[in-house]
Amino acid sequence: MRSRVEQIHPAELGWTPQTAANHRSGLRKALQWFQPNPTSQQTGRTLTPAWAAVWAHLADETLKKRLGSLIKYCSARDIRPEDVGEPVLDAHMRYREEETPEAFGVSERRQIARAWNRCAQSIAGWPQQQLIVPPDRRYKGPAWTDFPNSLRAEVEAYFDGITCHPQRLGTGNARRCSPRTIQTRRRELIAFAGKAVSIGYSIKTLTSLSVLLDPALVRDVVEAYWAEDGEKPKRYTVDLPWRLLVIAKGTQCLKPEALRELSEIRSAAQKKQPRGLTEKNRSVIRSVKSTDVWARVGALPAILMREARRHKASSPYKAALKAQIAVAIAILTMAPVRIGNLAATKLDQHLVRVGGPKGLFWLLYEAHEVKNHMDLEFTFDAELTALVTEYIEMHRPVLLRGSNERWLFPGMRRGRFKAPHLLSAQIRNMVEKRTGLRITAHQFRHVAAAMLLKKFPGNYPLVAKVLGHKSVVTSVNSYIGLETLEANQIFAALVRENTCSLQLA
């Protein structure tokens, strides 16, 4: 019941946050009266003196979030800080699984153990015992350094060859990739090699890419991943043969017959990938289409900017951060770019004012800066230009902390832009808090496609232009089915019209 109650957002019911808090409090007291549970965590209970002293050392909000549940659990059971160990953490994770809506998997245990160990190393007065960090179950197999040197040398040479170096002139036909893409592809290839070892291949025999990318080995590994996924393979499993085929072509490590066989494996895997959006993304689209929530999202930046204006004198940094999020949301609603590009936006390079100081802003990204190597151009209207101008002139200097960098969204580290995942999380949290819609920065792109197809049914070329897709096929494969609701509504209206005509006759 707790998880369901927490999913209720006041904006969806027309309540103020205080009204929602009052209703939750009343419900909590009623449930405690009817069925008191002496073993429950009792989040409102005062910490014991020993744990209160430990809690006082925590200033980092992330560490508080990671360790808060464990500390309250131990305090409620009179477990001393110096007695925390693996048995206590085992019991806490069982408690989370059986009696709370909190996550209780290996990932959460790793986070708790790492946070505890970090505190033990850096905070004076913190209990000094270390907790065991469980291994990451996503990686199967030995460490990368245990693989033959010849294989590791080929892999590193390949990725260095396709890395986009601004100071080098491009040579050959290999497509250049950003450092972030290189990091992801390298991690995937290492995980693939580790999986091969985990299902029985000898690590000593994996001496080159030609051995690692042998079609028989690839088929075995993909089938092993698929068996773990269940009846329907995950997107990672489906895409893996295609990514390996790209590497094989780029390095020319396979003979033509082996390359054709690997291509056949890729084709067979791709047929298992359903077209269209996932259910998670479709849920967001349904909320946008069936309620007025997107109007509230569109109005949110102006509301946030008014609040930032009002609080600038008393809390300049808090006001500046709110204005920054307002601008990010406003840009995504009008120019649905990828979060990596948005976070790295630079004044006078990507955000350019055309027509002098009173002109409108343009948002420009060159092909080499975009994931699929397509130029992107968006024009801002007068309202969005005014919002961005106010942020740049009144709030952005506070976030720069004396730096003269040109990032539109400066981060905590001097001279760096805000990390994309952090900016996305702040956008998601703010939109959900104010409107009740849980939406990621990338899902703004899906909403944009849905809005375009609702207004212009079947116009996938327009969707491709707005989202910067290189091929219309990409837009069709991604958003096929979004027009189903409108089609069904047209059909229902036709049926109703015929029924009415029959009744009048």
Please provide the DSSP assignment of 133-166 as one string.
-PPPTT--SS-GGGS-HHHHHHHHHHHHHHB--T
Give residue for tokens 């957002």: 9
Highest-confidence segment of 60-64, 334-338, 478-482: 334-338
Range scoring the smallest mean pLDDT among 25-39, 164-178, 231-245: 164-178
More confident residue, 206 or 479: 206
Residue 141 pLDDT exceeds 80:
no
Of 232, 248, 270, the residue at which a domain comes to its end is 270
Q: Is the pLDDT of residue 38 over 50?
A: no
Is the same domain home to 220 and 115?
Answer: no
- Helix, strand and coil content of the chain, in percent to the nearest 5, comes to 65, 5, 35
Residue 39 pLDDT: 42
With CA atoms as reference, report the closest residue to 210 among 172, 239, 251: 251
* Gyration radius from the chain CA atoms: 27
Q: What are the φ/ψ torsions at residue 116 (nearest 5 degrees)? A: -60, -50
Residue 242, SS3 per DSSP: helix
Rounded average pLDDT over 124-140 = 77
Contact between 438 and 428 under an 8 Å Cβ cutoff? The reply is yes
Q: In terms of Cα–Cα distance, which of 342, 443, 439 is closest to 388?
A: 342
Judge whether 19 lies within some domain: no
**Nearest by Cα to 297 from 289, 307, 288:** 288
**Contact by Cβ (8 Å): 419, 343:** yes
Nearest partner of 436 among 424, 447, 428, 444, judged by Cα: 428
Mean pLDDT, residues 355-369 taken together: 90
> What is residue 395's predicted lDDT score, i.e. its pLDDT?
94
Written as one letter, the residue type at 338 is R
Residue of 257, 423, 403 whose CA lies nearest to 331: 423
For the ranges 29-33, 240-244, 447-451, the lowest mean pLDDT is seen at 29-33
Same domain, 253 and 188: yes
Residue 12 domain-assigned? no
Tokens of 35: 């069925």
Residue 328 falls inside a structural domain: yes
Average pLDDT along the chain: 86
Pairwise pLDDT comparison (10 vs 218), residue with the higher score: 218
The per-residue pLDDT for 30 is: 79
Do the Cβ atoms of 391 and 323 come closer than 8 Å?
Answer: yes
Top-confidence range, 11-15, 180-184, 202-206, 454-458: 202-206
Residue 360 falls within a domain, yes or no?
yes
Q: Does 167 have pLDDT greater than 50?
A: no
Same domain, 226 and 287: no
What would the mean pLDDT of 146-152 be, rounded to a whole number? 94
205 lies in a domain? yes
- Pick from 76, 180, 158, 89: which is nearest to 130 by CA? 89
Mean pLDDT of 383-410: 92
Mean pLDDT along residues 353-373: 90
pLDDT-derived band at 46, boundaries 50, 70, 90: confident
One domain for residues 250 and 289: no
Q: Which residue, 304, 351, 356, is CA-closest to 330? A: 304
- Domain count across the chain: 3
Q: Which of 340, 335, 325, 343 is nearest to 447 (CA)?
A: 335
pLDDT of residue 371: 84
Average pLDDT over residues 11-30: 77
Q: Are residues 266 and 167 in the same domain?
A: yes
Same domain for 377 and 331, yes or no, is yes
445 and 304, same domain (yes or no): yes
Phi/psi at 354 (5° precision)? -105, 130
Helices (H), 163-277: 179-198, 209-212, 215-229, 235-251, 256-270
Identify whether residues 301 and 409 lie together within a single domain. Answer: yes
As a whole number of angstroms, the distance between CA 130 and CA 422 comes to: 29
Residues 424 and 316 in one domain: yes
Give me the mean pLDDT over the 215-232 stretch.
91
User: What is the average per-residue pLDDT within 282-307?
Assistant: 94
The CA dihedral of 329, 334, 340, 341, to the nearest 10 degrees, is -130
Residues 315 and 383 in one domain: yes
- Least confident range from 73-87, 126-140, 189-203, 391-405: namely 126-140
Q: Which of 42-51, 156-165, 222-231, 314-323 has the lowest mean pLDDT?
A: 42-51
Provide the pLDDT confidence category of residue 503 given band limits of 50, 70 and 90.
Answer: low
Q: Are residues 110 and 155 in the same domain?
A: no
Position 41 scores a pLDDT of 46
We report the CATH number of the domain holding residue 387 as: 1.10.443.10
Any domain includes 495: no
Angle between helical axes of 179-198 and 149-162 (0-180°, round to 10):
150
The tokens describing 204, both together, are 């000593």
Q: What is the DSSP string of 265-309?
A: HHHHHHTTS-SS--HHHHHHHHHHHHSSHHHHHHHHHHHHHHHHH
CA–CA distances in Å: residue 140 to residues 151, 193, 220, 358: 18, 9, 14, 58
Residue 171 — pLDDT band, cuts 50, 70, 90? very low
- What phi and psi values does residue 378 have, to the nearest 5 degrees? -135, 140
Q: What is the pLDDT of residue 173?
A: 45
Assigned domain for 86 exists: yes
In which domain, by residue range, is 151 found?
Answer: 144-270
| Residue after which a domain boundary falls, among 242, 270, 298 | 270
Q: Tell me: do 116 and 195 sit in the same domain.
A: no
Of the pLDDT bands very low, low, confident and very high (cuts 50, 70, 90), residue 476 is: confident
Q: Tell me what pLDDT residue 14 has.
A: 72
Last residue of a domain, one of 413, 439, 456: 456
Give yes or no for residue 338 having a pLDDT over 90.
yes
Tell me, rounded to whole angstroms, the distance of Cα 172 from its chain centroid: 34
Of the two residues 143 and 325, the one the predictor is more confident about is 325
Q: Indicate whether 475 belongs to any domain.
A: no
pLDDT score recorded for residue 482: 77
At residue 172, does pLDDT exceed 50? Answer: no
Q: How far apart are CA 50 and CA 241, in angstroms?
A: 55
